[in-house]
Amino acid sequence: MRFLAILLLSISASLVSGHARIKSPKPLDAPVEDPTGNAYNAPLNPDGSDFPCKQLHKKAGVDMTPTESWAAGSSASFEYGALAAHSGGSCQASLSYDNGTTWSVLKSFHGGCPRDVTLNSNLAGPDQVFPFPIPAEAKAGAALFAWTWTAVTGNRDEFYMNCASVEITGSGTSTLEDYPAMYVGDMNIPGQIATGECRSTAGTALLYPNPGTEV
Is residue 42 classed as helix, strand or coil in its secondary structure? coil
Q: Write down the pLDDT at residue 194.
A: 76
Q: In what order do the strands lie in the sheet with 75-83?
A: 20-24, 75-83, 129-133
Q: Write down the pLDDT at residue 184.
A: 92
Whether domain 27-32+42-169 has CATH 1.10.10.10 = no
Is residue 22 classed as helix, strand or coil in its secondary structure? strand
Q: Write down the pLDDT at residue 35.
A: 66
Domain ranges of the chain: 27-32+42-169
Q: How far apart are CA 209 and CA 39, in angstroms?
A: 30
Q: Write down the pLDDT at residue 13.
A: 35
Q: Write down the pLDDT at residue 32.
A: 87
Contact of 53 with 146, CB cutoff 8 Å? yes
Per-residue pLDDT 10s for the chain (215 aa) are: 333 333 333 333 333 345 899 999 999 999 988 766 788 999 999 999 999 999 999 999 999 999 999 999 999 999 999 889 999 999 999 999 999 999 999 999 999 999 999 999 999 999 999 999 999 999 999 999 999 999 999 988 899 999 999 999 999 999 999 999 999 999 888 777 877 778 899 999 999 999 998 99
